[in-house]
Amino acid sequence: MNLSMRVLEVRHVTESLCEGLEAEDMTVQPIADVSPLKWHLAHTSWFFEELILCAKLPGYKRFDVSYRELFNSYYKSLGRHWVQGDRGTLSRPSVREILDYRKHVNAGLRRLFEKRLLDADTNHLLELGIQHEEQHQELFLMDVKYILSRNPSEPVFRRSPLSASEKPSANWMNVPEQLAEIGADFQDHSFTFDNERPRHKVYVYPYSIRESLVTNAEFLAFIEDGGYQNPDYWLSLGWDWVNAHSVKHPLYWSNHEDQWSEYTLHGTGALEANYPVTHISYFEASAFARWSKARLPREEELEIYLAKTRTSANQSDLHPTNANQAEGQVWCWTQSAYSAYPGYQEFAGPVREYNGKFMCNQFVLRGSCAVTPKGHSRATYRNFFLPEQRWMFSGLRLAKDSR
C-alpha cells in the first residue's frame, strides 16, 4: 500500500472506532488525562491541516479558523491552544461538525495526492501524520474505556468474548554481560520517532528477565498479602499517592462479596487469573516487584528481550489475554527515566515539540499493548507516562540481577 493510500486508510480506521457509540459518549471528559472522543477525531485532522495542507497545498482553506486553537494539543510554536483539562467544556463543535471537518481535510489530502505535491519533507510529515493518528487510535480506546467505565451501567464497547488465557510460563531468560547496541539508526528506512534515535552503545550487566508478564492472580496475591498497606514495598512518593487517593487495587478491578471482577472494553466479568495485570501505575509496578524480591527491568534490558522474542498479538481482543506474549499485551513499566539518548536530534520544524520537551519526570514503557494498532510496535519504541498514571494499558515484566 503506497503512502497516499495508507493516509486515507488510517483516517478510515479512526472513524470506524466510533461505530456503536452515541454522540453523548464522545463529548464527556471525566478526568484531565482523558480527552473527549470527538477531540481525537478533530485533533488528528488538525495535524494534517496545520502541518501539511496549509503549508503544502496552494489555495487550501481551513475548515474553520477557530479550530487552529481549539484542536492544537501543545504546539506552542503554532500559537495558542486549548488547555487539555478543559477539552470537555467544548460542547461545540458537535460530533457531526467534526466529522464534516474530517471530510474536508480528507478532500484536501486527496487534492495534494492528485497534484503530486509530495517532496521529501511532505512525505516525512505524511508518515508522521499516519503514526500520530495511530497513536490517537490507541488513546481513543484507552479513553473510551475510562469514559464508559464511569457510567453506572458499565456500557459494553465490543460485544465479543475474550480469548481464553494460557498458563503463564515460569521460565526466565538469562542475558549475559555485554556492550549492547539499542535504539534506531538515523539512516533507518523504516519510520522511527526521534526519541528512538540514534542507535548507541550501552553497557549491560548480566540479568535475567521473566518470559511471562505478571498476571492478575499474582497481583491479587500481593493485595491479599497486604501489599497496599505495607510501606516497605513503596517508593516514598508512591506511598503518599496510594494514601492520598485510597488506592487498593488496579484500575477497573472491583470486589463484591469477596468476588473480584474487572471492567474491560468487552464488558465486566470475573477476574481472569491468568490474564496479564493491567492498568497499574509505576508506583504499583515498583511495589509489586519489590514484594516479589525482583525489580523492574531497565529499558535497554527490555529492548534486548523484545528484539530476541518478538511475537504477534491477537488483534481481535481489546484486552490483554496472553501473559506469554512478548508484546501486544501491556505496556511494561521500566525503571528508566524518560530522557534523551546520546546524540539525540529532535524533529525539525514545529514537530520538534513532539517528544523532546516531555523528557522530565516520566518513565519509559516498552512492548505495546492490546489496543496498539497492528504494525505500530517495534523493539525500539519508547512510550512514556507519569508514575501515577494508569488509565493506559500498563503492566509489568519482572527482572533480576544475575550473580
Q: What are phi and psi of 175, to 5 degrees?
A: -120, 125
Phi-psi region of 395 (alpha: psi -120 to 50; beta: other; left: phi over 0): beta
Q: Tell me what pLDDT residue 314 has.
A: 58
Q: Are 309 and 326 in contact (CB under 8 A)?
A: yes
Q: What gap in Å lies between CA 179 and CA 201, rounded to an integer? A: 6
Q: Tell me what pLDDT residue 312 has.
A: 62
Q: Tell me what pLDDT residue 313 has.
A: 58
| Per-residue three-class SS string for the chain | CCHHHHHHHHHHHHHHCCCCCCHHHHCCCCCCCCCCHHHHHHHHHHHHHHHHHHHHCCCCCCCCCCHHHHCCCCCHHHCCCCCHHHHHHCCCCCHHHHHHHHHHHHHHHHHHHHCCCCCHHHHHHHHHHHHHHHHHHHHHHHHHHHHHHCCCCCCCCCCCCCCCCCCCCCCEEEECCEEEEECCCCCCCCCCCHHHCCCEEEEECCEEEECCCCEHHHHHHHHHCCHHHCHHHCCHHHHHHHHHCCCCCCCCEEEECCEEEEEECCEEEECCCCCECCCCCHHHHHHHHHHCCCECCCHHHHHHHHHHCCCCCCCCCCCCCCCCCCCCECEEEEEEECCCCCCCCCCCHHHHHCCHHHCCCCEEEECCECCCCCCCCCCCCCEEECCCCCCCCEECCCEEECC
At 93-131, the pLDDT tens digits run 999 999 999 999 999 999 999 999 899 999 999 999 999
Q: What are phi and psi of 54, to 5 degrees?
A: -65, -30
At 55-68, the pLDDT tens digits run 999 999 999 999 99
Q: Tell me what pLDDT residue 341 has.
A: 98
**How does pLDDT run along the chain (403 residues), one tens digit per residue?**
899 999 999 999 999 999 999 999 999 999 999 999 999 999 999 999 999 999 999 999 999 999 999 999 999 888 898 999 999 999 999 999 999 999 999 999 999 999 998 999 999 999 999 999 999 999 999 999 999 999 999 999 999 999 999 999 999 999 999 999 999 998 777 899 999 999 999 999 999 999 999 999 999 999 999 999 999 999 999 999 999 999 999 999 999 999 999 999 999 999 999 999 999 999 999 999 999 999 999 999 999 999 998 666 556 899 999 999 999 999 999 999 999 999 999 999 999 999 999 999 999 999 999 999 998 999 999 999 999 999 999 999 999 999 7
At 269-318, the pLDDT tens digits run 999 999 999 999 999 999 999 999 999 999 999 999 999 986 665 568 99
pTM metric for this prediction: 0.97
Task: Note the CATH architecture for domain 172-401.
Answer: Alpha-Beta Complex (3.90)
Q: CA angle, 151 as apex, 73 and 257 as ends, to 5°? A: 130
Find the distance separating the first CA and the last CA of the chain, reported in whole Å: 49
User: Domains of the chain: which residue ranges?
Assistant: 3-149, 172-401
- The cell numbers describing 171, all together, are 521460565
